[in-house]
Amino acid sequence: MEHQIRRIGVLTGGGDCPGLNAVIRAVVKTAISQYGWEVLGIEDGFEGLIQPGKVRPLKMADVRGILPRGGTILGTTNRANPFHYEVEVDGEIKAFDVSDDVVRYAQVLGIDVLIVIGGDGSLRIAYELMQKGLKVVGVPKTIDNDLKDTAVTFGFDTAINTAMDALDKLHTTAESHHRVIILELMGREAGWIALEAGIAGGADIILIPEIPYDVESITEHIRGRNLSGAKFSIVVVAEGAKPMGGEEVYREQREIGAVRRLGGIGQQLAEQLRERCSLEIRVTVLGYLQRGGTPTAFDRLLSSRFGTIAVHLVAQGKLGQMVALKDERITAVPIAEAVSAQKMVSLNSDIILTAMGLGINLGRKQEEIRAL
């Protein structure tokens, strides 16, 4: 296989996250130094294979100094699905299937294999393009850590460190003012960021999408803390969390080609708590700070390992595979398998047991959670 490869492409798709540049750097360095291949950088995710003029060669000099940089030097978008490419025509939004054009364009560019660095959305697109003849290898990224078949995705560690830092700061002001402070964090479907940052940051209450919450249980917990002398409480809520029998909270506006945006559950919860107790309640939404900044040492290392091994998979002809971390080693798993379901927080995992053991309220009575 190796001798047939001359040129590979690399793109970053979906929401950005710390460590993307470290992967690009590892891909370029390994491809050039170990195999002598050319590397083409595709700008703005799959958009770069839909619109012209968004492809450029990546040489060693192009990746110099990018290891500590957040974001992606290639740019990204979560709005360019070639199978459902939305554009505005005469004031109306229309969707087109441009996937055949994408495969053809990649052939014209002489891309033998495309390395797709993305979350479940981008990797699903990569898998579908593979069915049409494009050769791909995947690298799992998302701060949400909701991709199954890898112990962790890069970007997650940086995100939870950022959130933990915010929690440390919120603690001091909450304590000084005897307030309840709610911190809304990212996490659409899965509550990994909220749960792990919440535990690391000493939160009193953590609400995740996997456990629909009962506002009475939260109120009782806050009252109990006040009675025991702790005159403040810190609540962490994932943006995708919802009350029992209720719905997730979405923002109003929708952009062309984008999925609906979550946001606002923190405020909604604050209103619910204000109806039940007389404490001062404040809300902070950490938002895109979680996606920015320099990657932690863990994420730099994981990204570098992922990028390097992805290139070796290309050389070995292991196409349609995604690099993954399993039992401390980087291995390969079929992309089809990895995107078949999301990795949710398991309610009988040790991390949930840890939260319970620490006396953290997870939005429900512990016996109710055990019965879910």
The site that binds ligand F6P (CB under 6 A) totals a number of residues, namely: 14
Tokens representing 100? 């055949």
Assess whether 144 carries a catalytic annotation.
Answer: yes
When CB distances to ligand F6P are compared, the closest residue is 186
In the bound complex, what is the minimum distance in angstroms from residue 169's beta carbon to ligand F6P?
A: 21
- ∠ Cα 336 16 312 (to 5°): 50
State which of positions 53-92 bind ligand F6P (CB under 6 A): 78
User: Which of 258, 351, 353, 372 forms a contact with ligand F6P (CB under 6 A)?
Assistant: 258
CB 372 within 8 A of CB 217: no
Count of residues making up the chain: 372
In the bound complex, what is the minimum distance in angstroms from residue 213's beta carbon to ligand F6P?
A: 18
Nearest to ligand F6P of 15, 48 (CB atom): 15
User: Which of 262, 313, 323, 355 forms a contact with ligand F6P (CB under 6 A)?
Assistant: 262
State which of positions 7-36 bind ligand F6P (CB under 6 A): 15
Of 64-72, 257-265, 336-344, 354-362, the window that binds ligand F6P (rule: CB under 6 A) is 257-265
State which of positions 103-132 bind ligand F6P (CB under 6 A): 119
261 in contact with ligand F6P (CB under 6 A): yes
- ∠ Cα 312 323 46 (to 5°): 95
- For 306-309, the CB contacts below 8 A with 24+ separation are 306/23, 306/26, 306/139, 306/140, 306/154, 306/330, 307/22, 307/23, 307/24, 307/25, 307/26, 307/27, 307/30, 307/139, 308/26, 308/27, 308/29, 308/30
Tokens representing 32? 């050039």
User: Whole-angstrom Cα distance, residue 247 to residue 180?
Assistant: 23
Of residues 144, 146, 157, 299, which has the active-site annotation?
A: 144
Four-residue CA torsion sign, 23, 64, 60, 62 = positive
State which of positions 141-160 bind ligand F6P (CB under 6 A): 142-144
195 in contact with ligand F6P (CB under 6 A): no
| Residues of this chain that bind ligand F6P (CB under 6 A) | 15, 78, 119, 142-144, 186-188, 239, 258, 261-262, 291
Which residues are known to be catalytic?
144
